[in-house]
Amino acid sequence: MVKVSVIVPAYNSEATVKATIQSILAQTFRDFELLIIDDGSTDGTAQIAQSIEDDRIRVLSYTNGGLATARNRGIDAAQGELLSFIDADDLWTPDKLQDQIEALEDNPEAAVAYSWTDYIDENDKFLYPGGRGQYEGDIYAALFQQNFIESGSNLMVRASALEQVGQFEAEAIAVTEDWDLWLRLAMHYPFALVPKAQILYRVLPQSMSSNFQRQERDTLKVMRDALARSPQRLQPHYRASLSHLYRYLTFRTLSVGRTRRQYLSGLRFYGLALFYEPQLLVKRTKLMGITFCKTLLGLMLSPSVLKLART
């Protein structure tokens, strides 16, 4: 049995999958298998992966099932005692696997290790840092308030833990299935932190057209499911979790806003963030004021409004 199974779900990723694979093969830790789960790609994703000569690589092709299904197919095929996931457009620093393995060895009661994230563009250029939270051990309540893991390209998890809590939800949740699984793991197991930025999350132009209503719907479902599983532990943190969700959606709307409808959604998200945490007006007066002004300005100057004004 290999020590680690690295699972890469890939769908029409011919522009980035080679760089992702190279970042995995460059790991200082060498005892791993690399499973490329071709999720029904119609481009050259599978051919590019197959062209890379390394005995540790297995390319498994399926009909398209979506991200969660592809990850679950990787779990089913994995032979490692530890599993690690990375999407086919992200990168790792060379020490990622080694450091997370050592974190689990140093914390044998922990079932999961995670690192910090930085964000890059399509040309590998640094954009901005992710969070730098210091959450370790019992992180359940903190993770319920905010998904500081930040992406599905981060965690290393013991295969035995997944056998207990189950795999990714592939049916009812479309965009937050990773957070749902992280919460189920955190309910039962401690987490270990590697305090380094080892995940390079790629922000692509097409990823900027997010469906915020779907993200809101799925995130609320994950929160409510978690609350139903553990009401006593999570109920005191529910409003804070809601506030963080709507702050995030407000800022994301501002970053991609193009239409009146998007800015109206942003205004609604802004109001809900304040409804669930009115203290924001005191704690972050300047930030919330700027956000409100930008939202109104976007609403007035959105292209759809300007087009109507000219007719």
| One pLDDT digit (tens) per residue for the chain, 311 residues | 789 999 999 999 999 999 999 999 999 999 999 999 999 999 999 999 999 999 999 999 999 999 999 999 999 999 999 999 999 999 999 999 999 999 999 999 999 999 999 999 999 999 999 999 999 999 999 999 999 999 999 999 999 999 999 999 988 887 899 999 999 999 999 999 999 999 999 987 666 446 888 899 999 999 999 999 999 999 999 999 999 999 989 888 877 656 777 778 878 898 899 999 888 776 666 656 666 676 666 656 665 443 433 33
Measured CA to CA in angstroms, residue 280 lies from 212, 272, 273, 306 at distances of 22, 11, 8, 32
Query: Distance (Å, rounded) from C-alpha 221 to C-alpha 227?
Result: 10
The residues, ordered by sequence, that sit 6+ positions from 106 with a Cβ below 8 Å of its Cβ are 192
The full set of domains in the chain, from first to last, is 4-208 (3.90.550.10), 212-310 (no CATH)
- In terms of C-beta density within 10 A (0-12 exposed, 13-18 middle, 19 or more buried), how is residue 234 classed? buried
pLDDT at residue 297, as a whole number: 64
Q: CB of 10 within 8 A of CB of 108?
A: no
Q: Are 40 and 11 in contact (CB under 8 A)?
A: yes
104-107-109 Cα angle (round to 5):
100
Question: What pLDDT is stored for residue 309 in this prediction?
Answer: 37
Q: What's the CA gap between 274 and 291, in Å, rounded? A: 12
Residue 238 structure tokens: 């529910």
- The reported pTM is 0.89
pLDDT at 210: 60
pLDDT of residue 288: 64
Q: Return the pLDDT at 212.
A: 84
What's the pLDDT at 30? 97
